[in-house]
A and B are shown apart, each in its own frame.
Chain A
Amino acid sequence: MADETLDASGLNCPLPILKTKKALSKMDTGKILDVISTDAGSVKDIEAFCNQTGNKLMSTVEDGGKYVFTIEKV
């Protein structure tokens, strides 16, 4: 179960990434963030973001054009 949820639906690149960064920066290490996005580009971008920042992408779930990314803050 996520500690925080960020709804970035309807937003386009780079906003889902910027808002994810902002949300994570307010959270403690080990906490879980769910990011909801409708931007298909964010599938690759959230993965790249986590690769670069060291945060852990735990899962990506797609449901009818809606993506839910579960990220653990490291």
Chain B
Amino acid sequence: MSDNNKMTIIATKGTFDWAFPPFIIASTGVAMDKEVTIFFTFYGLNLLLKDTSKLRVSPMGNPGMPMKMPFGPKWLQDIDFGPKIPNVLWNIPFADSLVTYLMKKTMAKHGVAKLADLRDMCQEFDVRFIACEMTVELFGYDKSDFIDGVEFAGAASYFDEAASGNHHLYM
């Protein structure tokens, strides 16, 4: 039986940048009257940690990433450093921290929601968060590492949700 109102997302990535799409799509989905479930597995579990301040975006092996300064004179802000800096040079300590800091600055400048706020809004709107039990154990997490309101289950539970509805996204 198909239920047009249901939507599922499988969130598999645990970097700062990829933390946004599942929460953006899920919160918008519930705002548009969908029932949304996100199934977090592998590195996607990072998105459910109480402390997300350690999430990083890495420029390493990420050649599609535009790199523009969020501050400074306009001529400087217009330069896209992404294609100009040889990728191997990012293999230095703290490159990820620096780039994550600059991305957060850029997001704040553009009025993009903070990650924790987006996640809170998802919960406020009753998005279901399911953490993959197998990967929780595999990576040695304790259930208390995660925010309240998370359910723990396996792949069969995902299918139970996904059997109805017609929006299913893998991120």
Tell me the A residues contacting B by CB distance below 8 Å: 10-15, 17-18, 20-21, 39, 48-49, 52-53
Q: Which chain B residues numbered 125 to 158 have a C-beta less than 8 Å away from chain A?
A: 125
- Return chain B residues, CB-CB under 8 Å to A14: 24, 27-28, 31, 113
B1 at the interface (CB under 8 A from A): no
Q: What's the Cα separation between A52 and B33 when bound, in Å?
A: 8
Main secondary structure of the interface of B (DSSP, over half): loop
List 7 A-B residue pairs with CB atoms under 8 Å apart, sorted by A's residue number.
A12-B110, A12-B111, A12-B113, A17-B32, A18-B27, A18-B28, A53-B31
B32 contacts A52, C-beta separation under 8 Å = yes
CB-defined contacts of A10 to chain B, threshold 8 Å = 111
Question: Which B residues touch A39, using CB under 8 A?
Answer: 111
List the interface of chain B (C-beta within 8 A of A). Answer: 24, 27-28, 31-33, 110-113, 121, 125
The residue from B31, B112, B113, B125 contacting A49, defined by CB atoms under 8 A apart: B31
Q: In the complex, are the beta carbons of B33 and A15 less than 8 A apart? A: no
Q: Is the interface of A mostly helix, strand, loop or mixed?
A: helix
User: Is the pair B28, A17 in contact by a Cβ cutoff of 8 Å?
Assistant: yes
Closest Cβ of chain B: how far from A54's Cβ, in Å? 8
Residues on B with C-beta less than 8 A from A11 are: 111, 113
Residues of B within 8 A of A17 (CB): 28, 31-32
Report whether A15 and B32 are in contact in the complex, using a CB–CB cutoff of 8 Å: no
Docked CA distance A74–B113 (Å): 28
| Chain A neighbourhood of B125, CB < 8 A | 18, 21
Q: How far is the CB of B36 from chain A (nearest CB, A)?
A: 13
Indicate which residue in B32, B110, B112 contacts A53 across the interface (CB closer than 8 Å): B32
Question: Is the CB–CB distance between B24 and A13 below 8 Å?
Answer: yes
Task: For the complex formed, measure the closest distance between the CB of B112 and the CB atoms of chain A, giving whole angstroms.
Answer: 5
Whether B31 lies near A18 (C-beta < 8 A) is yes
Nearest residue in B to A11 (C-beta to C-beta)? B111
